[in-house]
Amino acid sequence: MKRKVLDLTLIILGITIIAWAIFVSAPTIEKTAQEIMNKIEPARETRIAFVGDIMMDRHIRRQARNWGYDHFFECAEPELKKNNFVVGNLEGTVTSYASVSEGKPQEDMNHFRFTMDPASLLALKNSGINIVGLANNHTYDFGKEGIEMTGKNILKAGLKYFGNDIDKNFRTIAIEDNKNKIFIVPYNQFFGSREETLSDIQKLKSDFAFDGVIIVFAHWGDEYVPANANQKKLAHEFIDAGADAIIGMHPHVLQETENYKGKFIAYSIGNFVFDQYFDESVKKGGVIEMVVSDNKIKSASLRETYLDDERRVCLK
């Protein structure tokens, strides 16, 4: 009987040792397997660029009657097309309504209400821009109907979009390319909340199977001045919650970039195509060029843009 008990004890001990060895070595085995897979199929890169404010109403709409909408993008087009994805902030609605801003003086509030001709979206597509964000201070310029028409027109033009406050299916966007997953989450200082954006980030991070890059596309700050304390506080909160990068816009000028806990922040990348030419600061903007590999941001840098004498945006 004692022999049987001893044999059973040895068997249990042996099983326990084997199980422990498997448990301890599992990460090593997994890492080795991943290294082998990487040699068989190396991680491929996804190039994604972010451009600033795009608004094709008011003076742009009038100039387009002579030049066409493609004119404003033709200088930047060769560089933009080097990317797999180009994301821009669409500053206004896209509807069949007539412009109410064209020809209006600044003291008239309609001077700041934007709606763009659906035909203008083809110029974005032709230039290489394939995703647009709608979460900004002009989202509701033409009410709920304006937002609905904008979404339909964007999809009809063959573009993708996010930042729709009415249709939650289009609030965020997930991009998958070369086995890289990129999630873009909006923050809108004007019609959104810090809590919404934090919730979006946390929902992604709480998924056990989550593997990807989270980028916050933020519309915030004060116009024509450097980044304020609230922008910096929010950016740090978003990164602490799990975001991998922050791309900001709205101030119409370039603001500083920052590296926070190894994560890239661009507080404002200024104008891209916009009818502001009154000062050098608003004629300059930026493009964030990012490379994602193996579901991590491999590099992110700012490349300056400028509006030339023919109102075309060009990359330096």
**pLDDT tens per residue, range 134-180:** 999 999 999 999 999 999 999 999 999 999 989 999 999 999 998 99
The pLDDT tens digits for 287-306 are 999 999 999 999 999 999 99
Q: Which residues contact 21 (CB under 8 A, 6 or more apart)?
A: none
Amino acid 29: pLDDT: 47
- Identify the pLDDT of residue 28: 52
Per CATH, the architecture of 46-315 is what?
4-Layer Sandwich (3.60)
Contact 282, 270 (CB under 8 A): yes
pLDDT tens sequence across 187-205: 999 999 999 999 999 999 9
Q: Can you tell me the distance from the alpha carbon of 314 to that of 311, in angstroms, rounded to the nearest whole number? A: 9
How much is the average pLDDT of 61-66? 95
User: What is the reported pLDDT for 53?
Assistant: 97
Domain boundaries along the sequence of the chain: 1-42, 46-315
More confident of the two residues 52 and 36: 52
In this predicted structure, the answer to whether residue 42 has a pLDDT above a threshold of 90 is no
Residues 16-22 have a mean pLDDT of 54
Q: How do residues 103-117 score in pLDDT, each as one tens digit?
A: 999 999 999 999 999
CB atoms closer than 10 angstroms to residue 242: 16
Please give the average per-residue pLDDT across 41-57, as a whole number.
Answer: 90
pLDDT at 43: 64
Q: Percent of the chain having pLDDT more than 90?
A: 83
Nearest alpha carbon to residue 85 among 8, 161, 157: 161
Lowest mean pLDDT among 38-42, 230-234, 271-275, 301-305: 38-42
pLDDT digits (tens, 9 = 90+) for 174-188: 999 989 999 999 999
